Amino acid sequence: MNLTLECEREEDGRWLAEVAALPGVLAYGASANEAMAKAEVLALRVLAERLEHGESAPLAINITLPAAA
């Protein structure tokens, strides 16, 4: 499983980070680093929940993080 964390700045100045492969995994932050950290934590929680509830089988994962903006 390859997951990509994407980050962009909104018009209002906030940063939005998301993992598009995991529906609902997105987070806002005052900085790119804050938004990316929040989204990464949420992605890991979603994956853990899926494993705990038998919704997915354990797989090798590779998480790609962009360079800090």
pLDDT in 10s for each residue of the chain, 69 residues: 778 999 999 999 999 999 999 999 999 999 999 999 999 999 999 989 988 888 877 777 777 766 655
How many other C-beta atoms can be found within 10 angstroms of the C-beta atom of residue 54? 7
Whole-angstrom Cα distance, residue 42 to residue 68?
A: 18
Whole-angstrom Cα distance, residue 55 to residue 33?
A: 30
Strand duo 2-9 + 62-64: pairing: parallel
Q: Please report the pLDDT score of residue 14 as a whole number.
A: 97
Helix (H) or strand (E) holding 31: none
